Amino acid sequence: MHLRMFEIARDFLHRTTNCNVVAGLMSPVHDKYGKEGLVTASDRVQMLRLALNSSAWVHVSEWETQQDDWTPTREVVQYHQTMIQATVRSAGSSSSSSSSAGVPQQGREVIDSVVNGNTDPNVKRQRGEGNAPWLTHLSTSADQVSVKLLCGADLLESFAKPGLWKDEDIEALVGKFGLVVVTREGSNPYKFIYESDVLTRHQRNIHIVTEWIANEISSTKVRRALRRGDSVKYLVQDTVIDYIYKNALFDTHNKHGE
């Protein structure tokens, strides 16, 4: 379902706005996020790579998984926005950069400064992702690229849960970057936006995408089926199923997958 969201969102933005979607990024959460049943980041990254093998425009970013701890969503989005800006700026100013990563060292230093809010070399900074393959996808662009957070209506509604999100993070995600929200059966994002002062103030920066082809597939149900030894064929790509059973993920020991 998450992969399908990218296609739905791109179609919507191309049809209803002046946006030209140049790339999609999937950023797996850090191992220290603390979610029960979360398999290792290396396994999740590899499964995503297999799942996205047929996509020419959706990519995996490992940066979030490579940090020392869990990183708030706002900082993840900010990092990628800054990295993209540095890449595009480099492409526009020079076509003969000596950096094999596509982002010059100066660009990486700017990213460190913006993400961490300082330029002190003695302060520990977050690790960069200078060799990210997805950057080469954008290195030839001379246009400004803006990052938006793609999410389901359930994430939008989670903004109202006390203590889950910082007010300043919600403000930045909606006001500075913007959201693309894919609806789900039974959700009413318009009503939720109306009931929130912050979301109403920035509603021009929130794109609501209606999913007309209902899809109730959930990762929770897929994992449950795997634990029980049930087939998940046609719900998950064959290459991903093979990887899951080969590495005995999701309690699939001594079970046969199809």
Cα–Cα distances in angstroms (integers) from residue 157 to residues 166, 207, 214, in the given order: 14, 15, 19
The confidence score (pLDDT) of residue 138 equals: 67
The confidence score (pLDDT) of residue 190 equals: 95
The confidence score (pLDDT) of residue 255 equals: 59
In the chain (258 residues long), the average pLDDT of successive 10-residue segments reads 91 95 95 92 97 94 96 97 86 51 43 42 51 66 85 94 96 97 89 96 96 86 94 95 96 67
The confidence score (pLDDT) of residue 177 equals: 97
The confidence score (pLDDT) of residue 187 equals: 85
* Helix 105-116, helix 73-93: angle, nearest 10: 150
- The predicted model scores a pTM of 0.82
The CB density around residue 117, as the number of other CB atoms within 10 Å, is 9
Please return the burial class of 27, using the count of CB atoms within 10 Å of its CB with bins 0-12, 13-18 and 19+. buried
d(CA 156, CA 48): 24
Question: What is the pairing mode between strands 58-60 and 149-152?
Answer: unpaired
Specify whether the CB–CB gap between 100 and 79 falls below 8 A: no
The confidence score (pLDDT) of residue 157 equals: 94
- Residue found by looking up tokens 């449950």 in the block: 224
The confidence score (pLDDT) of residue 163 equals: 94
Dihedral Cα 123, 125, 130, 131, nearest 10 deg: 120
Cα–Cα distances in angstroms (integers) from residue 211 to residues 12, 144, 181, 184, in the given order: 10, 29, 10, 7
What kind and span of H or E run contains 59? strand 58-60
